[in-house]
A and B are shown apart, each in its own frame.
Chain A
């Protein structure tokens, strides 16, 4: 009979439909696609930097300082005669390193705090939340600056400083999710079966929070780069001669009048990568938004 057929298919249909719908939305969202392309490009350049860069980013050539863009130096040279293009290409590695480390550190700290806070509630929750509020009471760049300066300007310290400022986002997110999840029947059942707290937290609750964490991670990456660039610009990040983009913009500032290319192109690199992450993040947000899925 006809309706028995449709009943069998109907169990899988919603899942398949959902996936097809997601892919459709992804493709349809041109901006998300552009973002994806940019980010992939960024990663590729970072990986293949030694091959792609025409010159050694540290090699100075004082005979050719502040040379405008030309065929030998597509983006010109800086105040030490170094090739701007090569420095930007190698800079992708630094940015990538920053993103990965900051994300790793901040998600770890944030998730642990979030899990504990959300699961145990009560006094522990209050204390942890007040601590989180403390960190959130500062504009993040200012706090990062303070930490970076206090620890001593260097790339590593900048990474630590930015992580210090970013973990709160994950803490709040994971706490909210944990609070939602901990009261479900599923968790109650597991608890009734005698699972220990540690087990519950890490083997059961944590996996269910992974998806919103991933989304948030993507959304945060643009901010991380901007903060890192800000620190670099102020001299609180990677120190010369490291080709960090923010620092390069700062270097070029003195020569804006006659050698505009130094600041302009390094800043453009920052803008482009942040744009890519923002487009991607927007796209993901649009795709996951239940209301827009109709």
Chain B
């Protein structure tokens, strides 16, 4: 009962925040001092043409009307037409988002797969070689800019060693699978298209690692701190006083408590993965939403900017919501 109430409350808050997001994005789009129409048509276009385009794009209506239209459109999922691709923005998003999703999923898998074990090991075997290595690894991970790590790894694995491909999701000569989920690797797996599967994997591993590295560092640190903290608690002492073997104590009693904040962290890192995706996709030529937004920003394709940003904010908010709910499910104390 308490849990449902909690979820409802959070959903309600999220709706308010989403509205706020729309307002904020609209505000950003309107403060653009540069004239997007002028940029589109070139500096010397005749005024009638400019006015015509302005009218066509609805830019000559009063601000309030524009805002209302915008909200109405947003609620339907209509963000207008991209000035660059000439397609409805929502179509563009549908095409590019799965690529980002796929990248993010692999990045999280790598981050958790490296981060949690490293963190646990570090905490349990304090000051051992692994602990020191892990801490250096972690602190470097959160200090190195994502785009630099990406470039260095590209330099090593692509330019110098020629082991992995440099960009894109699949080599041109490979037949891609039917786009069911839009995630090439998953689709290929479902279809049994092994060529595409392996090639897709080869393409994703570098960007996923780059994207996941910073998160894995963060997760490792958090896990270590959390485990250390939990091991200091009274109930761990009780568990030992009950005569429970150390392994059981750690893996059962300690971890269930220690992983709670880590789960929150994973959810939060998902948000920074979205940020990192922007940069990673640019470096690796990954055709995802991040790269789409960057390109839109550089040419001031403002429908695309608005649509893309709102969409990312939406995903980010959903991720946070899921984290909050998961946290409440895992920790019975949190169901306030």
Interface set of A (CB-CB < 8 Å, partner B): 31, 130-131, 133-135, 137-143, 145-147, 149-152, 222, 226, 229-230, 233-236, 246, 249-250, 253, 256-257, 260, 263-264, 267-268, 270-271, 274-275, 278-279, 282, 291
Give the Cβ gap from A268 to chain B, nearest Cβ, in Å: 8
Contact between A274 and B145, CB atoms less than 8 A apart:
yes
Give the Cβ gap from A136 to chain B, nearest Cβ, in Å: 8
In the complex, which of the residues B159, B283, B293 contacts A145, with contact meaning CB atoms closer than 8 Å? Answer: B293
In the complex, which of the residues A134, A149, A264 contacts B152, with contact meaning CB atoms closer than 8 Å? Answer: A264
In the complex, which of the residues A145, A233, A260 contacts B155, with contact meaning CB atoms closer than 8 Å? Answer: A260
Contact between B32 and A134, CB atoms less than 8 A apart:
no
Contact between B17 and A226, CB atoms less than 8 A apart:
no
Report if A134-B159 is in contact (Cβ < 8 Å); known contacts: A230-B147, A235-B298: no
* Cα(A251)–Cα(B305), bound, Å: 24
Contact between B154 and A133, CB atoms less than 8 A apart:
no
Number of B interface residues in the complex (CB < 8 A) = 50
* Cα(A257)–Cα(B232), bound, Å: 51
Q: Which residues of A contact B232 (CB under 8 A)?
A: 291
Q: Is B25 an interface residue (CB 8 A)?
A: yes
**What secondary structure prevails in chain B residues at the interface with A?**
helix
* Cα(A246)–Cα(B313), bound, Å: 25
Q: Is B161 an interface residue (CB 8 A)?
A: no
* Cα(A10)–Cα(B16), bound, Å: 55
In the complex, which of the residues B24, B33, B139, B140 contacts A152, with contact meaning CB atoms closer than 8 Å? Answer: B33
Q: Is B31 an interface residue (CB 8 A)?
A: yes
Q: Is B28 an interface residue (CB 8 A)?
A: yes
Q: Which residues of A contact B140 (CB under 8 A)?
A: 271, 275
Interface set of B (CB-CB < 8 Å, partner A): 13, 16-18, 20-21, 23-25, 28-29, 31-34, 139-140, 142-148, 151-152, 154-155, 159, 229, 232, 271-272, 274-275, 278-279, 282-283, 293-294, 297-298, 300, 305, 309, 312-313, 316-317
Q: Which residues of A contact B279 (CB under 8 A)?
A: 141, 230, 233-234
* Cα(A130)–Cα(B143), bound, Å: 31
Contact between A275 and B28, CB atoms less than 8 A apart:
no
Contact between B20 and A133, CB atoms less than 8 A apart:
yes
Q: Which residues of B contact A253 (CB under 8 A)?
A: 151, 283
Contact between B316 and A270, CB atoms less than 8 A apart:
no
15 contacts between A and B (CB under 8 A): A130-B20, A133-B17, A134-B23, A137-B17, A141-B279, A142-B309, A145-B278, A146-B309, A230-B147, A260-B155, A263-B148, A264-B152, A267-B145, A270-B145, A271-B140
Report if A291-B316 is in contact (Cβ < 8 Å); known contacts: A230-B145, A257-B159, A267-B145: no
Contact between A142 and B312, CB atoms less than 8 A apart:
yes
* Cα(A233)–Cα(B139), bound, Å: 22
In the complex, which of the residues B24, B31, B278 contacts A134, with contact meaning CB atoms closer than 8 Å? Answer: B24
Contact between A267 and B148, CB atoms less than 8 A apart:
yes
In the complex, which of the residues B28, B283, B293 contacts A147, with contact meaning CB atoms closer than 8 Å? Answer: B28
Q: Which residues of B contact A267 (CB under 8 A)?
A: 144-145, 147-148, 151-152
Contact between A130 and B17, CB atoms less than 8 A apart:
yes
Contact between A142 and B278, CB atoms less than 8 A apart:
yes
Q: Which residues of B contact A130 (CB under 8 A)?
A: 16-17, 20
Contact between B143 and A222, CB atoms less than 8 A apart:
yes
Contact between A256 and B20, CB atoms less than 8 A apart:
no
Contact between B31 and A150, CB atoms less than 8 A apart:
yes
Contact between B139 and A282, CB atoms less than 8 A apart:
yes
8 nearest A-B residue pairs (beta carbon): A267-B148, A134-B20, A149-B297, A141-B275, A275-B143, A139-B275, A274-B143, A271-B144
Give the Cβ gap from A156 to chain B, nearest Cβ, in Å: 13
Q: Which residues of A contact B297 (CB under 8 A)?
A: 145-146, 149, 234, 236
Name the residue of chain A whose CB is nearest to the CB of B299: A149
* Cα(A249)–Cα(B279), bound, Å: 12
Contact between A152 and B34, CB atoms less than 8 A apart:
yes
Q: Which residues of B contact A226 (CB under 8 A)?
A: 145
Q: Which residues of B contact A249 (CB under 8 A)?
A: 145, 147-148, 151
Report if A139-B312 is in contact (Cβ < 8 Å); known contacts: A134-B24, A226-B145, A263-B151: yes
Q: Which residues of A contact B16 (CB under 8 A)?
A: 130
